[in-house]
Amino acid sequence: MESLAPVDRERFARIYRVTSADAHLRVPQAMAPWVEKTFGSVPSVETQRIVRVSNRVTGESTLFNELRAKRPVRAALRTDATFEDELADDAWEQPEQATPEDPFGRLRIAHGITAANVAKYDAVHSIIVFTEPNPLEFTQDSITAQLDLARQWLQAAHDDDPDASYPYVMWNCLWRAGGSIVHGHMQASMARSQHYGKIERMRHDAQAYQAEHGASYFDDLLSVHRALGLAVEVGSVSAIAHLTPLKEKEVLLLGAGLDRQGAQALFHTLRVFRDSLGVRSFNVGVLMSPLAPSEESWADFTPHMRIVDRGNLGSRTSDIGGMEMFAESVVASDPFMLHEALIEGNP
C-alpha cells in the first residue's frame, strides 16, 4: 500500500481502510514445549500481529493473522470412533495448564474459566472453557453463568484495552460448526475502530431503514414475523423463525443479550434444537452495540442472537458452497415447521 503511486493510493484509500494491532497473551510453562513444537517459539505466540482490511463501500471486513494457519485442528470423527471417544481424548481436561491466559489473568466461575486463544483472530480474543466437557450437556444454569462470564471478560478486556470496544460472543458447537476442539467452549472478542463487518452493515442498514420509513427495522421485523405466526415470546425476548435464514433452522432472539433473560431464551432454543429437532452441531452469535461511546449511532440497533443448525456430525459434505459464499443462502428447513417446534417446547 505504501509503495503505490499517488493516484493508486488515492483510489485504494477511497475503498479500503487498513489497521493493525498486536495481540498479547501469557503461555503457561507447562504449555511451552507444545507451543514451540506447533508454532515455532513462545514469543511468536505471546505477541501476534493482527491486520484488518475494511471495505468502506461494501462494509466487508477481514482479519488476518498468519499464525492461525499453524493452529492444530481436530479432524472429524473417524468412521470407527464415537463421540464419547472424542470427549475421552480431552485436550482441555486441565485448562490452566493447556491454555494460555490474557495479560490481565483469568476469570473463573463454577461453570467455566477464561483462556486466551492461542492463535487469535483479533487482538482482543479469548475463550470461555466450559467446566462440563460435553457441549451438549448444557443446562439453563450453565448457559446463564457462561454468558455472564463472557460479559465479565468483555468488560475486563475493555478496561485493559479501552481502544477495543466492539464486542462479539460466539459458540461454535463441534466440528461441523467450525469448533476445532470438542470440549465445550464459547469465544469472545472485541474490535477496534468499527464493529465487525456484518454487524456494522446491519447497524448501517437499520439506520437507513429508520431514516426512510420513520420506523425501527427490528420492531418491524418482529411485527412481520408475529403477523405470520413465526414469533414466540420467551420472557422479554422474542424468538423468531427467520424468514431469510443464513442456514438451516435459523432462530433470531431479538432483545437477547448477555443477561439472564438472554440466557433463558438461548437455553430454550438450544433445548428445542437438541431434544426436539435432533441438532448436534450449531453456531450461536451474540450481536451487541459497543461498550463505549462511538462516532456512529447505535440507537436503531437491537441486541440479538442468531442460532443456526450446522447439520449431521457424520456427514462428509459441507453445508456451505459457492452459492452461500458469494451469492445467496440455500436452505431446506421450513420456518413454519421450526416455529411449531419452538412453540411446543416453550415452557
CATH number at residue 167: 3.30.428.10
Q: Is 246 a member of any domain?
A: yes
Retrieve residue 246's grid coordinates. 443464513
Q: Is 116 a member of any domain?
A: yes
The number of distinct structural domains making up the chain is 1
Q: What is d(CA 263, CA 152) in angstroms, rounded to the nearest whole number? A: 15
Q: Is 5 a member of any domain?
A: no
pTM of the shown model: 0.90
Retrieve residue 303's grid coordinates. 441486541
pLDDT of residue 162: 96
DSSP states of 97-110: HHS-BBTTB--EET
Q: Is 185 a member of any domain?
A: yes
Question: Half-sphere exposure (CA, 13 Å, Cβ side) for 143?
Answer: 22
Q: Quick check: 120 and 65 in contact, CB under 8 A?
A: yes
Q: Is 7 a member of any domain?
A: no
Q: Is 155 a member of any domain?
A: yes
Q: Is 49 a member of any domain?
A: no
Q: What is d(CA 129, CA 114) in angstroms, rounded to the nearest whole number? A: 6
Residues 85-131 pLDDT 10s: 778 888 899 999 999 999 999 999 999 999 999 989 899 999 999 99
Q: Is 242 a member of any domain?
A: yes
Q: What is d(CA 338, CA 277) in angstroms, rounded to the nearest whole number? A: 9
∠248-250-256 over CA atoms, to 5°? 160
Residues 36-79 pLDDT 10s: 999 999 999 999 999 998 888 778 888 888 888 777 655 544 54
Which residue range is the domain that position 292 belongs to?
A: 77-347
Q: What is d(CA 59, CA 61) in angstroms, rounded to the nearest whole number? A: 6
pLDDT of residue 76: 47
In the numeric block, the cell 442456514 is attached to 247
pLDDT lower than 70: segments of the chain: 72-83, 346-347
If you compute the radius of gyration of the chain from its CA atoms, what whole number of angstroms results?
Answer: 21
Distance, CA of 134 to chain centre: 19
